[in-house]
Structure 1
Amino acid sequence: MDRTMKRLILLALMTFNCTLVCADTLTLKAGYPESYVVKKGDTLWDISATFLSDPWKWPSLWNVNPQIANPHLIYPGDQLTLVFIDGQPRLQINGVAAQGKARVRKSPEGRIIAKNNAVPVVDLALIENYLTQHRVVDSLWLAEQPMVLAGESPSRHHVVGDIIYIDAQLPLNQKYGIYERGREFFNTETAEPLGQEAILAATGQVIDSGKVSKVRLLSNFRETKAGFKLLPLEDDSLMSAYFMPKAAQLTTPAAVLAIESMQREAGKLNVVYIDKGTQDGVEPGAVFSIYRDGEVIVIDNKGLPVPATERTAYDNLMALVSSDRTVQMPDVYHGQLLVFKVFDKASFGLILSTERPVRVDDKLVAPESLVLRGQ
């Protein structure tokens, strides 16, 4: 191996190591407090945002040990103090380093944490409905599932206590979710189907099994109608509420697939679908930065930029046929979102910060420091 090649390899290793160090560096927010008393309704994200420019890096702030179950349990009334250990900022609980070893409090597993219990990552009230009531499933699979035919009541809509008829022989006493079809999603670039939105309308229990089974409705989130589908209930639907934020790891950018509320734009604390899921390596807790393509500037015959609002049809034509007449502006930062529920080819994300409204097709990439963006 010649000397030049050795130097290149050494430089690459030094760059890689520097990247790892920079990725782990915590940047404190201007005006950060030296201590903080946890209040009812606080979230780990909000508390970390009090101290850090990038709240998603809170596991490092708390010095979390991934080998310890629920190491981040803090409670309303705890006093947090900022200290520096080996030059890095760390939070202490009541004067004891928050490493998960100093104090142990048990909390129920696999369900929403009560408001007077441990502080959650984000406000669970914002995502509870999406954890329990929304799914994205394969559209062909959904079409094959048992269907609501009608009900004992002559009404077209059925509510709690009503008995509905299902076109399949179902296990007696088995509980199901009754789902309404929502939107069907496709990749905007490849047209690949990403799944069918299924919205939980009710739950029910089989009381009579036969060629046409009877199901009594146990709960309602919306009225049930003929044509709705029966799916097994997700027993682990709430487990996605427990995760640690981490930078998204994708080789290609993701995109905002749809806004759950079907509005034109989304803002802080709104929920959106993204076009990547478990098949792409997305996991609950993944944090994305949201960007929109920068404007394409057209240069006129005099060599001057033409604002988009003043372009003529000729300017737009020249922009299409001549790359020499256009300049692509940098992508514009719009905010950050946190993935909290993942399906095969799509995911749910909660927008946790915005500087500009978020729209469908906005790009999602691994987060970068606010300091690097000059903010």
Structure 2
Amino acid sequence: MSRTLARTAISASLLALGLGSLTAVSAWGANYPVTPGQRATAQEVSQAGVPLSELAPNAPDTYTVKKGDTLWDISKIYLLKPWRWPELWGMNLQEIRNPHLIYPGQVLYLDKSNGRARLTLARPVSSAQDGKLSPQVRAEPLASDAIASVPMSLIGPFLTDAVVFETNELETAPRIVATQEGRVMLGRGDRAYVRGDVSGARLWQIFREPKPLTDPDTGEILGFEARHVGAAELVRAADESQTPEGGAIVPSTFLVTQLREEAGVGDRLAPLPPKDYSPFAPHAPNGPLSGRIISLYGDHLSAGQNQIVALNRGLRDGVERGHVLALWSAGSTRPDSTDPDHAMLQLPDERNGLLFVFRVFERVSYALILNVQDPVKPGDRFSQP
């Protein structure tokens, strides 16, 4: 199929769903490649929707999006399996990561014709001339107004704070060597004195000694997780190659601007990257995906709902932002009390909750625990939902 025909096919598919050609033009204008397989899936989904059996029992015919809604909230209103949202919405695979047309004040309309369910945008009844709901497209959506996948208050800080380094590069990173007035620890607004090359940035993160993340199955070191302490701004850079009389080294001066915990001498600095707030929708992996939790973020022995965990799978394994994964708790080993010989039993693993992947590195990912029944521990399994 030629590129022109491919554009036409995607545009037609989107128009049929009430998403409009604007989205197709935007996607192609960004020059995103669409493979034949993706194109076929988009067409199939746009025609099929989801079975009515997949709808939540009280799924409403219409729903007005409210400020504070998240895509996950709305998905749970409509679906028994919220990660199937892209199928219900009928987005093509290039747009699955982006809840691009869902804004506060819009009305969602549920079409349940021919035994399948599809969701489109609709005008409120009061604005329709014939008193019926009809699909429409928001002409000029603003990305900053789009609803988030999950509450940003839960993952926002971790979009920069949760960092995995491929190697233990913090060993040679700039380090705090002295504090203001010889204080033992630093607080917000204090000055810190730093040695090392700080020419690369003005805003920096402060980290404590990183710990290796080890794959529990293979023993491979997947990266080094650095404990985020806070942030600092460069006030005055020093050139250590130029020393005053007497040979004493003049360090660079930083202002501590943000702290999660007290900083001190020996803590390391790394440039502060920009936060990526681009929206991405919850969706299931395209194929089998399984692994283990290798770390709980922070000083915790176990984790619960709305806490962050690290997974032993990353970009190289096909993990994507927005992936929803099933969480499993390991079955216990116990003796059979009905057996005179007390044979040992290995109980099966049990489904325990759901994870939402929001940050992905080459070999490691971070995920938010969306819901859970029993406490989560390192070594617990995850799989496609």
User: Shorter-chain-normalised TM-score: which range?
Assistant: 0.7 to 0.9
Which whole-Å deviations, capped at 9, do the CAs of 1:88-125 have from their partners, x for residues lacking one? 31223234777xx72133325xxxx4xxx321111111
2:137 alignment partner in structure 1: 102
Secondary structure at 1:247 match in 2: coil
Question: Aligned pair 1:364/2:352, yes or no?
Answer: no
Which whole-Å deviations, capped at 9, do the CAs of 1:132-184 have from their partners, x for residues lacking one? 22212145212121211113432122344433222224328733222223543
Residue identity in the other structure for 2:354:
Q
Question: Aligned pair 1:146/2:185, yes or no?
Answer: no
Residue identity in the other structure for 1:30:
P
CA spacing shift, 1:330–1:247, aligned 2, 3 Å: same
CA spacing shift, 1:326–1:163, aligned 2, 3 Å: closer
CA spacing shift, 1:251–1:38, aligned 2, 3 Å: closer
CA contact under 8 A between 1:173 and 1:207: conserved in structure 2?
A: no
Could you tell me which of 102, 109, 116 is aligned with 1:74?
102
1:57 alignment partner in structure 2: 84
Residue identity in the other structure for 1:83:
D
Q: Which moved more, 1:143-152 or 1:121-130?
A: 143-152
Percent of pairs with identical residues:
31
Aligned-partner Cα distance in 1 for 2:90–2:134:
8
Secondary structure at 1:256 match in 2: strand
Question: Aligned pair 1:231/2:293, yes or no?
Answer: no
Question: Aligned pair 1:208/2:243, yes or no?
Answer: no
Alignment of 1:189-204 (within 5 A): 189-198=217-226, 199-204=228-233
Aligned-partner Cα distance in 2 for 1:273–1:161:
32
Question: Aligned pair 1:293/2:320, yes or no?
Answer: no
CA spacing shift, 1:259–1:208, aligned 2, 3 Å: closer
Residue identity in the other structure for 2:237:
D
Question: Aligned pair 1:341/2:376, yes or no?
Answer: no
- Deviation, 1:254, is 0.9
Secondary structure at 1:122 match in 2: coil
Question: Aligned pair 1:254/2:283, yes or no?
Answer: no
Aligned-partner Cα distance in 1 for 2:309–2:219:
19
Aligned-partner Cα distance in 2 for 1:54–1:188:
30
CA spacing shift, 1:272–1:70, aligned 2, 3 Å: closer
CA contact under 8 A between 2:203 and 2:231: conserved in structure 1?
A: no
CA contact under 8 A between 1:250 and 1:280: conserved in structure 2?
A: no
Consecutive unaligned residues in structure 1, runs of 5 or more: 1-16, 307-313, 316-324, 368-375
CA contact under 8 A between 1:206 and 1:216: conserved in structure 2?
A: yes
TM-score normalised per structure 2: 0.72
- Deviation, 1:228, is 1.0
Aligned-partner Cα distance in 2 for 1:172–1:296:
53
Aligned-partner Cα distance in 1 for 2:150–2:365:
17
- Deviation, 1:220, is 1.4
- Deviation, 1:185, is 2.2
Aligned-partner Cα distance in 2 for 1:91–1:251:
27
- Deviation, 1:221, is 2.0
Secondary structure at 1:181 match in 2: coil
CA spacing shift, 1:270–1:178, aligned 2, 3 Å: closer
Secondary structure at 1:279 match in 2: helix
Which whole-Å deviations, capped at 9, do the CAs of 1:26-58 have from their partners, x for residues lacking one? 511223222222222211111110110111111
- Deviation, 1:344, is 2.7
Residue identity in the other structure for 1:332:
E
Aligned-partner Cα distance in 2 for 1:147–1:277:
29
Residue identity in the other structure for 1:344:
E
Consecutive unaligned residues in structure 2, runs of 5 or more: 1-40, 124-132, 241-249
- Deviation, 1:61, is 1.6
Alignment of 1:1-375 (within 5 A): 25-26=50-51, 27-67=54-94, 70=98, 72-84=100-112, 87-95=115-123, 102-108=137-143, 113=144, 117-171=145-199, 174-198=202-226, 199-211=228-240, 212-217=250-255, 219-222=257-260, 223-235=262-274, 237-239=275-277, 242-248=279-285, 253-296=290-333, 298-299=335-336, 304-305=338-339, 315=342, 325-326=343-344, 328-367=346-385
- Deviation, 1:187, is 1.7
Aligned-partner Cα distance in 2 for 1:33–1:305:
53
Secondary structure at 1:184 match in 2: strand
Q: Over aligned residue pairs, what C-alpha RMSD do you find?
A: 3.1
How many residue pairs get matched?
Answer: 318
TM-score normalised per structure 1: 0.74
- Deviation, 1:295, is 3.8
Secondary structure at 2:264 match in 1: coil
Q: Which moved more, 1:166-175 or 1:211-220?
A: 166-175
